[in-house]
Structure 1
Amino acid sequence: MAVRAGSLVGRAVGAAVLAFFLLVVSTATAIWWTARQDSRPASDAIVVLGSAQYNGVPSSIFEARLEHALRLYEAGVAPVIVTVGGKAAGDQFTEAEAGRDYLAEAGVPGDALLPVQEGVDTLESMRAVSAAFDERGWGSAVLVTDPWHAMRAERMAEDAGIAADSSPTRQGPAVQTRTTQFRYILRETAAYLLYRATGESVAGAPGIG
């Protein structure tokens, strides 16, 4: 009887391990698939997810996102670009300010730029953007971020009440090599599963939290 009970426990553990493995694989595949999409319907705003900035100068990852958002704006996807992100301790500029200033220098009119200077991770940023949307009666957005971050960003935006599509950038360090891409997919898989399980975000590298 004890042997049979042990066998049942072993099967249950094996089934749980297999189920978890399949969940991880299916999530990673969905992240990869979403990363390959480019949805750009007419929307209320283009939302650029923040990344690191250095004394007001966007990092290479952030710059790639801003350049992509600029192309979407010029294509008429939305009349406004929202830059989002707060600042770390000791910083003089927020990510939102750095992004706004970069786009202003690129020729985007001031009334077409909205900096939302809150959020130290994606979840906080999306909630801040949702509040800004509510104030203006907006409901739809095209999100600009790195390809591997797109699925989680969409989910968080939708959970915050925004009808979100994503148009990931194809430039920048996050897409340079297959090794880099694989590392980002693994990291995003863990972050997405954590969010779905707990409703919380995770602090990490730019664009990962």
Structure 2
Amino acid sequence: MPSYQTKTQWLALVVLGIVSALLLVVAITAFRIYFYGSANRIVKADAAIVLGAAVWGDEPSPVFRERINHAINLYKRGIVRTIIFTGGVGKNDHLAEAVVGKRYAMARGVKPANILIETESHTTHQNLEYAQKVASLYHQSKFLIVSDPLHLKRAVLMAQDLGMDAYPSPTPTTRYRSFKSQFEFLMRETYFYFVYLVLKF
């Protein structure tokens, strides 16, 4: 019969193997999230859905501003005809994120008739779900999802799970520039990506 020490060593090896496998899965997923958002695809669509982010008073935060500027660029280049801003009123705010985004875009030449908003969402999934409802009223079905590069794999997966014909459109610049901030964002997105996969099954 195997000794107690042999059994303990065998169990330790099994645990080590499981932990190593899990770490490998996490690492591969993190790499996929990173490279998915770094690809620059040019796809014409009915609308750009700008995922909400924080606002500072009446102005978009730097993160939100990067997303809005990218959507405006897509609009002015004729890649999309409409911009859909998403996001409700955050804690301690008095304006919805979508309203702030719309005002910012209008001030930079986007016609009000080419802007749609939803002002009830507070999560990425809600951003997409409520934007889809608004877009359906105007018979729009093909979308570019605009957000920070590391956010897009999860966001586009959510959009496609909602039945949307959706494609990533990462901001060419990001406020997450330092290695530390990018690494923290990547780890957070990897965690939420796994959470979403678990919850949807």
Other structure's SS at 2:121 match: coil
| 1:82 counterpart SS class | strand
For residue 11 of structure 1, report the CA deviation from its aligned partner: 4.0
CA contact (8 A) 2:117 2:131 kept: no
Deviation at 1:94, TM superposition (A): 0.4
* Residue 189 (structure 1) aligns with: 190
Q: Write the distance in 1 (CA, Å) between the matches of 2:53 and 2:86.
A: 9
**2:113 is matched with which residue: 83, 106, 111?**
111
Letter paired with 1:71: N
Counterpart mapping for 1:31-70 below 5 A: 31-70=33-72
Is the aligned partner of 1:138 residue 2:162?
Answer: no
1:123 aligns with 2:125: yes
Amino acid in the other structure paired with 2:138: R
AA of the residue aligned to 1:53? V
Give 1:205's aligned residue: none
Unaligned runs of 5+ in 1: 201-209
Partner Cα distance (1:40, 1:108) in 2:
20
- Alpha-carbon displacement from aligned partner over 1:24-79 (angstroms, at most 9, x marks no partner): 00111001111211223111111111111122210111111111111111111110
How many residue pairs end up in the alignment? 199
Give 5+ residue unaligned stretches, structure 2. Answer: none
Give the distance between the partners of 1:87 and 1:53, measured in 2 at CA: 9
Q: CA RMSD in A?
A: 1.9
Matches within 5 A, 1:142-181: 142-174=144-176, 176-181=177-182
| Separation (CA, whole Å) in 1 of partners of 2:9 and 2:132 | 51
Q: Rg: which structure is higher?
A: 2
Q: TM-score, normalized by length of structure 2?
A: 0.90
* Identity over aligned pairs, percent: 29
> 3-state SS of the aligned residue for 1:167?
strand
Assess if the C-alpha contact under 8 Å between 1:149 and 1:188 holds in 2.
yes
Runs (4 or more) in structure 1 with deviation over 3 Å come to 1-12
- Residue 74 of structure 2 corresponds to which residue in structure 1? 72
In structure 2, C-alpha distance between the alignment counterparts of 1:26 and 1:138, rounded to whole Å: 35
TM-score when normalising by structure 1 = 0.87
Distance in 2, Cα, partners of 1:112 & 1:136:
11
Question: Is the 8 Å Cα contact of residues 35 and 148 (structure 1) preserved in structure 2?
Answer: yes
Conserved? CA contact 2:117–2:134, under 8 Å: no
Q: Which AA in structure 2 matches 1:185?
A: L
